[in-house]
Amino acid sequence: MSAGTLFVAESRGRKVRNALATAFMVLSFLVMLVPLVLIVGYVVQRGAGVISWSFLTDDLPIIDRLPGGGIGPAIVGTLIIVGAATAMAVPLGLLGGIYLNEYGGKRRTASVVRFLADVMTGVPSVVMGLFIFTIWTLRYQYSAFGGALALACLMLPIIIRTSEEVLRLVSHDQREASYALGGRKATTIRRVVLPAAAPGILSGALLAIARAAGETAPLLFTILYVTKTNTSLLHGPNVALPLLIFKNAQSPFTAAADRAWGAALTLIVIVFVFTLLARIVAAGFDRRRRA
């Protein structure tokens, strides 16, 4: 960074550029905000009317174009499938990120893994679904676990890469201090690096979970469909909220479309509340740590 080049030309031009930049930053936020409000507003407008306790807990109706029934099985299915996917992807992804940043560095294996993780983020969700269909569904039938596997494959590279980047940001000084006190590498990671990087890791994980919860294509090849709640992870087909939305949101039959949009609103609310809670709890511990 060359200091000398900062003092050039009249300060008016620099002030203008600065003001423009600031305006751009504020504008960016607004540019994102407008479609967000429009989309959420649209979902609320189309879906809020059907929400009720019975809507959230009743079984799916067998005839979906007739009014009645609820989305209970789909909520349970989404929770189980996304929960299982998270349980697989987050620990593995975090470990992968730790490996890349703490042990791998610039070594060959690490570069390859890093590169492959990037490639994996580009695999379309439909291809992931197809892949799990071939190696799992054909062998073990339709089940929630197949869906969880497919979603976990989608989440894994994101968590690895975001974890790695956030771990990289933990300053050298902190690590050095820990080593100086005789801490071993694993201990340093566990007690110093990970806690410092936790908020960033959490962010990455939450975004991956939010994305997985909203994916349709991987589920099309792995879970089939049911109208009654199936709490089993490994046995029998299942159903999930994104599937419901995809099947019925465009239907000219009001009952089916309303149910689909109610499901969309429910999904957004569930994932958002979960994200909020996670952030609040993490921030709470963070405050206590600094106290």
Partner 1 sequence: MSTDLRPRPQAPAPHKLSETPNPSGAHSDRAFRYLALGGGLVVFVVLALIAWSTTKEAWPAFTSEGISFVTSTTWDPAHGKFGALALIYGTFVTSAIALVFAVPVSFGIALFVTEVAPGWVRRPVVYVVDLLATIPSVVFGLWGIAVLGRAVPGFYENVASFFAPIPVVGTLLSGDPISGASFMTAGLILALMIIPIVTSIAREVFATVPSEQKEAAYGLGATRWEMIRGAMFPYARSGLVAGTMIGLGRALGETIAVALVVGANARVTPKLFSNGNTMAAIIANEFGEATGTHRAALIGLGVLLFVITIVIGIFARWIVSRSAHDVSTGAVR
Partner 2 sequence: MKTSRGRLRASSLVVTAVALALVAAACGSSSSKSKGSSATTGASSSLPSATLNGSGSTFQQPYDQAAIQAFTQQHPGVTINYAGGGSGKGQTDLQGKLVDFAGTDALPKPADLPKYTGGALLYFPFVAAPITVSYNVSGLDKLQLSADTIAKIFERQIKTWNDPAIKADNPGVSLPSTSITVVHRSDSSGTTNNFTTYLKKAAPTVWTLGADKTVNWPSDTQAGNGNPGVANAVKATNGAIGYIDYSDAKASGLKFASVKNAAGKFVAPSLDATSAALQTATINPDLSYDPINAPGDASYAITSPTWIMVSKNQTDHAKGTVLKAFLTFVLSSDGQNLAATADFAKLPSNMLSKAQAQLNQIVVP
Site for partner 2 in 190-229 (CB under 8 A): 190-192, 194-196, 198-199, 201-202, 205-206, 209, 220, 224-228
x/- contact string, 14-43, with partner 1 (CB under 8 A)? xx-xx-xxx-xxxxxx-xxx-xx-xxx-xx
What is the C-alpha to C-alpha distance for residues 93 and 86, in angstroms, rounded to an integer?
10
Interaction of residue 234 with partner 1, rule CB under 8 A: no
Give, in order, the Cα–Cα distances in Å from 103 to each of 32, 93, 119.
38, 15, 21
Residue length of the chain: 291
Site for partner 1 in 45-104 (CB under 8 A): 91-104
The distance of closest approach from Cβ of residue 106 to partner 2 in the complex, given in angstroms and rounded to an integer, is 27
User: Which tokens is 212 given?
Assistant: 């997985």
The distance of closest approach from Cβ of residue 182 to partner 2 in the complex, given in angstroms and rounded to an integer, is 17
- Choice from 242, 255, 256, 262 touching partner 1 (CB under 8 A): 242
- Choice from 101, 137, 162, 188 touching partner 2 (CB under 8 A): 137
Q: How many CB atoms lie within 10 A of CB 289?
A: 9
The distance of closest approach from Cβ of residue 267 to partner 1 in the complex, given in angstroms and rounded to an integer, is 6
Nearer Cβ to partner 2 (147/157): 147
Rounded (5°) CA angle 43-49-51: 90
* CB of 223 closer than 8 Å to CB of 142: yes
The distance of closest approach from Cβ of residue 234 to partner 1 in the complex, given in angstroms and rounded to an integer, is 20
* 60 contact, one of partner 1, partner 2, none, CB 5-8 Å limit per kind: none
Interaction of residue 275 with partner 1, rule CB under 8 A: yes
Binding residues with partner 1: total (CB under 8 A): 127
Q: Which residues, 6 or more positions from 11, have their beta carbon under 8 angstroms from its beta carbon? A: none
Question: Which of 73, 115, 122, 41 lies closest to 243, judged by CA?
Answer: 73
Interaction of residue 80 with partner 2, rule CB under 8 A: yes
Longest dimension (CA), the chain: 74
